[in-house]
Amino acid sequence: MTGESDLRVLLSDLRPELHPGRYVYATAPDGRVPSGATPVVTVREAEGLTLVLPEAEAVAVGLPYSYVTGWITLRVHSALEAVGLTAAVSLALTDAGISCNVVAGFHHDHLFVPYERSAEAVAVLEALASESGTG
């Protein structure tokens, strides 16, 4: 199934979904995911393997972490080559003073925002979708 690339359609159909729980950024300097950890995102960097995982798992496996976040998935199926979605979402959150880290999956974009502002971020994104309606 091909993802959507029309920005107006993407924005009007964002359907942000907040996953339950707290997610954190950690690093595995040895480049391996610790046993017992099930990250939702991994990024290999020269300094080590970045993990985004549930806070409870980071604590359980003894990984130091930072940036406690809420995880929001944009349920619209965006095409990887779509232009402007990340910029529009980032601008809306910037205007609200909410930091955001974006990860693109094959089907959806995933946002990691400060945990204590997660619900507010969802409301900002719902407002963006409403304002962008194709009707």
pLDDT digit string (tens) for 69-100? 999 999 999 988 999 999 999 999 999 999 99
For residue 93, give both structure tokens.
């959150």
Whole-model pTM: value is 0.93
* pLDDT range class, residue 1, cuts 50, 70, 90: low
Q: Which residues contact 55 (CB under 8 A, 6 or more apart)?
A: 21, 22, 23, 24, 65, 68
pLDDT for residue 130 is more than 80: yes
| Domain boundary assignment for the chain | 7-131
Name the CATH topology of 7-131: VC0802-like (3.30.2130)
Averaged over 24-28, what is the pLDDT? Answer: 95
Residue type, 68: V
Burial status of residue 125 (CB atoms within 10 A of its CB: 0-12, 13-18, 19 or more): buried
